[in-house]
């Protein structure tokens, strides 16, 4: 059980009774689960463990260390994995997927902090052990933060820059006292930091790729590794945390295998044959038409649909503003207007998608259709002058075309906007004042992205814009995105109900030139930085909502991303042998709580 020791001021601030210690920490408000909770609401606590599952992914791997820059996107799946679970390494606390942002005990049994969150102290569970039987100690926690600072990749490498003092407290405690660079989310982020074994790691070689199975504290050990092909994990029968509340109903397989494929079509064929047990599907056309095969007809394969209660996120063409051609926001806006969503949705996707109009659409955090209120206006201050008036008053919408692919009215609007950005059409070509052609390359990584790029290219050519398309293999794509070597790419920006420090990686000036960051658009704007700080320092739900909405408005007004579409459902097909709980939590289906029904 997680016990939080808090001063009276904080418990009164949260509306709790001072004598009742909290048992989890929430970004805003209090944890939903009671102090004597037995398990998360979305697990099957009585599941019989055993059996196996095989996942399939497209790509390759050459490394078992997920915390270093080298091969950061080619680390074997499952080592430290939000989708399959952190099978080998663990964090200090465990996130509930049925609350916006709430943590419960894992390696840390108790937590202490103050009203202003100027410090957090993690008191380790005395039962916590490494896979070699040695105890997890405060020295391991301190070692992990220092090692990741010196040898790790972002964002792990930057955590200690927020700390003025890190110290061991008693036999099991580690306290972090924060400096003025920290914010109210910082203690939460620290709770999700990985802990590594000091006794089993050589700091000198930590930043090198390795295929040597490591020592971890997690529920699985590595059984076999076939570089680039597959990795198999076996459940550790001596796993220390199998009975703590935040792990009940999880880690249900004796064996987990992740197989790698060069193409998604090959992966799907393996699923059809039964070599892969689950297949998450994000394509409406594929979901509607590709499951006419014997295993579906016989009931061996089951199609599941889930309805998460999450914001839409943003998927779209990202303009790399490091390139001079995209430095002008009016140019980016004009290029965004050109894309004919209605044509693409009807022609390519049988009208299955909804147009995305906001980074947090379908939630109270979205600015779409919502005028800025007095709280938001005050929060924005002079920044409001940079926001499109239609975005500010909630009337902004992307244009609705006639679906022809060449809607004259929309193209006329785009042309006018591009003129404001310094371009005009001469001899059928879009050129600047010096006669230089407006031209750029769209880099894609698979056939689905290429289809979208071709649809966009078709509309761009109608206005004399020279857009080329280059589809590259996975390793080249990863290398070029790591170093920001592209003009335009397709990227997804997942959105949660508790946005925070990930916004720094997506949009902050500090992340712009940091290789491996997620600032794909190359944004460097002090006003964006200010609005992110508002998100990170908000105390009340009202201030937090206003902060996210204002951030949403500024990003939309900057036209860094050409918004495309989203689904409000999750689709996944599974072998009937794989069981799952009824329903799903706030964040949708959770693979780590599924199980092998053949052992029931």
Domain end position, chosen among 146, 173, 205: 205
Same domain, 446 and 499: yes
**Look-up of token digits 């005028």:** 371
Rounded to an integer, the average pLDDT of 289-308 is 96
Note down the domain range covering 170.
3-37+89-205
Same domain, 112 and 50: no
Whether the per-residue pLDDT at 39 is higher than 80: the answer is yes
Same domain, 479 and 374: yes
**Look-up of token digits 């940091």:** 514
Same domain, 493 and 393: yes
Answer yes or no: is 337 within a domain: yes
**pTM of the full predicted structure?**
0.77
Domain end position, chosen among 173, 205, 237: 205
Same domain, 198 and 258: no
Same domain, 289 and 364: no
pLDDT at 366 (0 to 100): 97
How does pLDDT run across 249-298, given as a tens digit for each residue?
999 999 999 999 999 999 999 999 999 999 999 888 899 899 999 999 99
Domain of 229: which CATH number? Answer: 3.40.190.10
Q: Name the domain count of the chain.
A: 3
* Long-range contacts, 269-276 (Cβ 8 Å, 24+): 270/56, 271/56, 271/301, 271/573, 272/301, 274/300, 274/575, 275/54, 275/56, 276/54, 276/55, 276/56
Q: By three-state DSSP, how is residue 340 classified?
A: coil
Answer yes or no: is 578 within a domain: yes
Rounded to an integer, the average pLDDT of 38-56 is 97
Same domain, 549 and 409: yes
Answer yes or no: is 212 within a domain: no
Q: Look at the chain and count its residues.
A: 600
Containing 430, the helix (H) or strand (E) segment is: strand 429-431
- Nearest of 178, 172, 138 to residue 159 by alpha carbon: 178
Report percent pLDDT > 70 for the chain: 96
Same domain, 168 and 149: yes
Among 300-304, 365-369, 471-475, 557-561, the range scoring the smallest mean pLDDT is: 471-475
Domain of 386: which CATH number? Answer: 3.10.105.10
Report percent pLDDT > 90 for the chain: 85
pLDDT at 22 (0 to 100): 55
Mean pLDDT of the chain: 93
Answer yes or no: is 293 within a domain: yes
Rounded to an integer, the average pLDDT of 342-357 is 92
Whether the per-residue pLDDT at 541 is higher than 90: the answer is no
Same domain, 276 and 410: no
Rounded to an integer, the average pLDDT of 370-391 is 97
How does pLDDT run across 72-85, given as a tens digit for each residue?
778 999 999 999 99
How far apart (Å, rounded) are the C-alpha atoms in residues 6 and 11?
A: 7
Whether the per-residue pLDDT at 4 is higher than 50: the answer is no
Same domain, 282 and 321: no
Domain end position, chosen among 205, 235, 250: 205
C-alpha angle 257/101/155, rounded to 5°? 65
How does pLDDT run across 549-563, given as a tens digit for each residue?
999 999 999 999 999
Whether the per-residue pLDDT at 58 is higher than 90: the answer is yes
Rounded to an integer, the average pLDDT of 400-404 is 93
Whether the per-residue pLDDT at 3 is higher than 90: the answer is no
Answer yes or no: is 213 within a domain: no
Higher-pLDDT residue of 181 and 257 is: 257
pLDDT at 301 (0 to 100): 98
- How many DSSP H helices and E strands does the chain contain? 16, 28
pLDDT at 70 (0 to 100): 84
Beta-carbon contacts of residue 519 (< 8 Å; ≥ 6 apart): 505, 506, 507, 508, 511, 512
Same domain, 430 and 539: yes
Reported confidence tier of residue 540, pLDDT bands at 50, 70, 90: confident
Answer yes or no: is 33 within a domain: yes
Beta-carbon contacts of residue 262 (< 8 Å; ≥ 6 apart): 58
| Measured CA distances, 157 to 146, 154, 203, 537, 596 (Å) | 9, 5, 14, 22, 38
Reported confidence tier of residue 229, pLDDT bands at 50, 70, 90: very high
How far apart (Å, rounded) are the C-alpha atoms in residues 148 and 193?
A: 10
Same domain, 103 and 84: no
Whether the per-residue pLDDT at 18 is higher than 70: the answer is no
- Nearest of 150, 244, 125, 277 to residue 202 by alpha carbon: 150
Whether the per-residue pLDDT at 13 is higher than 50: the answer is no
């Amino acid at each position: 059980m997680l016990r939080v020791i808090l001063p009276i001021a904080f418990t009164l601030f949260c509306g709790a009774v001072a004598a009742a210690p909290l048992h989890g920490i929430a970004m805003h408000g209090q944890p939903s689960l009671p102090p004597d909770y037995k398990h998360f609401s979305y697990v099957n606590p009585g599941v019989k463990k055993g059996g196996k599952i095989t996942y399939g992914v497209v790509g390759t791997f050459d490394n078992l260390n997920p915390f270093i820059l080298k091969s950061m996107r080619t680390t074997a799946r499952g080592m430290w994995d939000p989708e399959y679970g952190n099978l080998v390494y663990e964090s200090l606390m465990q996130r509930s997927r049925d609350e916006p942002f709430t943590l419960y005990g894992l390696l840390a049994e108790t937590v202490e902090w103050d009203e202003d969150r100027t410090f957090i102290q993690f008191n380790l569970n005395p039962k916590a052990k490494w896979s070699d039987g040695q105890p997890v100690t405060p020295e391991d926690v301190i070692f992990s933060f220092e090692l990741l600072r010196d040898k790790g990749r972002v964002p792990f490498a930057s955590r200690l820059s927020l700390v003025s003092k890190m110290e061991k407290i008693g036999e099991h405690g580690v306290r972090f006292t924060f400096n003025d660079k920290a914010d109210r989310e910082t203690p939460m982020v620290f709770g999700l930091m990985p802990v590594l074994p000091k006794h089993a790691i050589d700091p000198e070689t930590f930043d090198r790729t390795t295929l040597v199975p490591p020592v971890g504290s997690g529920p699985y050990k590595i059984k076999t590794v076939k570089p680039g092909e597959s990795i198999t994990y076996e459940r550790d029968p001596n796993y220390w945390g199998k009975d703590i509340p935040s792990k009940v109903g999880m880690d249900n397989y004796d064996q987990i295998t992740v197989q790698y494929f060069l193409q998604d079509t090959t992966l799907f064929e393996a699923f059809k044959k039964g070599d892969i047990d689950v297949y998450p599907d994000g394509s409406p056309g594929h979901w509607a038409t590709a499951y006419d095969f014997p295993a579906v007809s016989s009931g061996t394969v089951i199609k599941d649909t889930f309805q998460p209660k999450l914001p839409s996120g943003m998927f779209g063409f990202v303009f790399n503003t490091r390139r001079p051609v995209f430095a002008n926001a009016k140019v980016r806006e004009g290029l965004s207007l050109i894309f004919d969503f209605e044509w693409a949705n009807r022609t390519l996707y049988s009208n299955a998608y909804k147009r995305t109009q906001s980074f947090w659409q379908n939630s109270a955090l979205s600015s779409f259709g919502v005028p800025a209120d007095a709280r938001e206006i005050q929060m924005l201050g002079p920044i409001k002058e940079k926001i499109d008036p239609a975005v500010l008053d909630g009337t902004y919408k992307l244009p609705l075309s006639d679906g022809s692919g060449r809607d004259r009215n929309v193209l006329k609007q785009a042309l006018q906007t591009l003129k404001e950005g310094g371009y005009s059409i001469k001899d059928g070509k879009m050129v600047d004042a010096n006669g230089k052609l407006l031209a750029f390359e769209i880099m894609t990584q698979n056939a689905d992205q290429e289809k979208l790029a071709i649809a966009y290219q078709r509309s761009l050519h109608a206005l004399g814009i020279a857009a080329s398309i280059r589809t590259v293999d996975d390793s080249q794509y990863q290398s070029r995105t790591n170093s920001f070597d592209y003009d335009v790419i397709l990227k997804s920006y997942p959105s949660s109900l508790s946005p925070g420090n990930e916004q720094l990686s997506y949009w902050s000036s500090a992340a712009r030139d940091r290789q491996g960051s997620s600032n794909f658009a190359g944004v460097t704007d002090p006003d964006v930085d200010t609005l992110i700080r508002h998100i990170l320092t908000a105390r009340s739900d009202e201030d937090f909502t206003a902060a996210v909405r204002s951030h949403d408005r500024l990003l939309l007004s900057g036209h860094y991303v050409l918004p495309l579409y989203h689904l409000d459902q999750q689709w996944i097909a599974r072998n009937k042998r794989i069981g799952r709980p009824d329903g799903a939590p706030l964040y949708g289906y959770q693979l780590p709580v599924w199980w092998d029904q053949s052992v029931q």
